[in-house]
A and B are shown apart, each in its own frame.
Chain A
Amino acid sequence: MSTELIETRALEAFYGDAQALFGIDFTLHAGEVVAIIGANGAGKSTLLKALTGLVAVKRESVRWRGTPIGGDAPGDIVRRGLALVPEGRRLFASLSVEENLLMGSFAGRAGPWSLQRLYAMFPVLREKRHMPGTSLSGGQQQMVAIGRALMSNPEVLLCDELSLGLAPIVIKEIYDALPAIVAEGMSVVLVEQDVSLAQRVSQRVVCLQEGRVSLEGRSAALTREQIAEAYFGLHAAAVDEVRA
């Protein structure tokens, strides 16, 4: 049996007339943690949206365990076992913390994740479970967004910019939870702008540039020079020069 959970072939995506993805080939294997990196506008978030049905794509261009799912409704995709932690958290403003978490269970998938399990992983959420989700700090909201996705008991967790706008200590707290999530046999795709963080927590890195894959390789094996060139289209020395 194939271990390929997600496979995209020549994936293209559009926002109206503007093309955002140009023939992306991407594979996620069971148990893998893959980081997607790239500059703003590289197509990272669009790739996650294409995988979860939020952006219309050709049916054959996205496969789940070999079955074409491109363009399926987001609800059907989450019921197959993909869950997205969206950029900016996007908690439901009129729902409490606990109600936000319970929204994840609408998909009706059985699995190890429950409210009690989440409260054990993020104890602060138990204390604040009756508060409006959007009244929490940014880091706590991110915990709710992760918990909400986990409540659907997915096989693949897609995380869009977990560290965006958060203090380093909060980012560390959130990423410290990742091993416990992966230990449940879950595969993870992380969109992350912090390249060193992305390399540290993932097994494989895929770099996008202007909607195309510009680099792919094992996280530990990629050099700063390679990543800088793929990320900006510049050599590392030139990047240093620009920064100076």
Chain B
Amino acid sequence: MDTLVQGLLLGGLYCLFALGQSLMFGVMRLTNTAQGDFIVLAGFAAIAAAGLLAWHPAFIALALLPLAFVAGYGLQRWVLNGALGRDPLPSLVVTFGLAIVIQNGLLQLFSADPRSLDAGALATRSVAAGGTAVGVLPALIFAIALAATAALQWLFGRTRLGRAFRAVSDDREIAELMGLDARKVYAFATGIAFVLIAVAGVLQAMRTTVSPSDGPLLLLFAFEAVIIGGMGSFWGTFAGAMLLGITQQIGFRLDPGWGIWLGHLVFLAVLVVRPQGLFPKTRG
């Protein structure tokens, strides 16, 4: 029971790592290989802001969200749109290059030391439930992941912006014939993805530590959650993250060195048995 609960809570964090990736892939078929590094960058931005402003992490997170949206919008509009096309290689190369720039920039600014964002009593508080101790911060992260997934699904399925996202994803040329500017729609999608990245980065820095070299591992977890769940499906991403989190916790319970490894094994098993993921394209 404890393993299941802790796995679900860990899955909440992985879900937040992965939602932005799922959104960008779902709308633009763009695989952001700098996803993990942007999460780390957001974590460091929050730590730096906390050092400068001495605000509560919640206020720092709220202040970061609009900045993250603008950064994502601008990055897509003026950098990534130029790399989009039938060939996925240019966008992979651009985001890979960005990952290297971010990692080295953070090393230069903050050194290689792991750092964390002081969440105060929230970091250690827990409640007893069903014979197990549930950390308040991990539970809050899980609730945020659940809310973010539901919000994205609602945005995609029920709003005018969501229709625009789905339309440009289905057929960009015809969507432009309807009066949409696909480049702006893509920029909106990346703006929202970066808001999710900022949330993930702040919560990662609150729950554990961040260091400049963490990005590739976080990217791997995000990838695994997205692919297990099915590309372009938000509830699938949520389910994939939960499965990954539970599997890792089972591995950690068996042997502290097995957790990550067991997660990779499940990911590979899904790739072999069901390469389209568990819930492909359930949006709308």
Contact = CB atoms under 8 A, between A and B. Distances in A.
B166 interface: yes
Contacts of A102: 160, 163
A79 interface: yes
A94 interface: yes
B166 A86 contact: no
B181 A73 contact: yes
A74 B169 contact: no
Contacts of B160: 102
Do most interface residues of chain B lie in helix, strand or loop, or is the interface mixed? helix
Q: Which 10 A-B pairs have the closest CB atoms?
A: A107-B179, A92-B170, A106-B179, A74-B176, A94-B166, A75-B179, A103-B178, A106-B178, A74-B177, A92-B167
Nearest to B183: A73
A214 B192 CA distance: 52
Interface string B146-166: 000000000000001001101
A107 B180 CA distance: 8
B133 interface: no
B40 to A, nearest CB: 33
Nearest to B164: A106
Contacts of B174: 86, 90, 92
Nearest to B173: A54
Nearest to B177: A74
A93 B176 contact: no
Interface in B166-215: 166-167, 169-171, 173-181
A91 to B, nearest CB: 8
26 contacts: A54-B177, A73-B181, A74-B173, A74-B176, A75-B177, A78-B177, A78-B179, A84-B177, A86-B177, A90-B171, A92-B166, A92-B167, A92-B170, A92-B175, A94-B170, A94-B281, A95-B166, A95-B167, A99-B166, A103-B167, A103-B178, A106-B178, A106-B180, A107-B178, A107-B179, A152-B179
B176 A73 contact: yes
A102 B163 CA distance: 9
B284 A94 contact: yes
A95 B178 contact: no
How big is the A interface, by class?
20 to 34
Contacts of A78: 177-179
Contacts of A93: 170-171
Contacts of A95: 163, 166-167, 170, 284
Contacts of A94: 166, 169-170, 281, 283-284
A183 to B, nearest CB: 24
A86 B174 CA distance: 8
A150 to B, nearest CB: 12
Nearest to B180: A106
Interface string A66-110: 000000011100110001101000101111100100111011100
A136 B283 CA distance: 20
A108 B164 CA distance: 14
B28 to A, nearest CB: 14
Interface in B217-268: none
Given A83-B177, A92-B167, A92-B171, 17 more contacts: A52-B177, A54-B177, A75-B178, A78-B178, A78-B179, A86-B174, A92-B170, A92-B174, A93-B170, A93-B171, A94-B170, A95-B163, A95-B166, A95-B167, A103-B175, A104-B178, A152-B178
Contacts of B163: 95, 99, 102-103
A148 interface: yes
A202 B32 CA distance: 51
A104 B163 CA distance: 11
A33 to B, nearest CB: 21
Nearest to B163: A99
B181 A75 contact: yes
Contacts of A99: 163, 166
Interface in A173-201: none
A38 B176 CA distance: 27
A99 B166 CA distance: 10
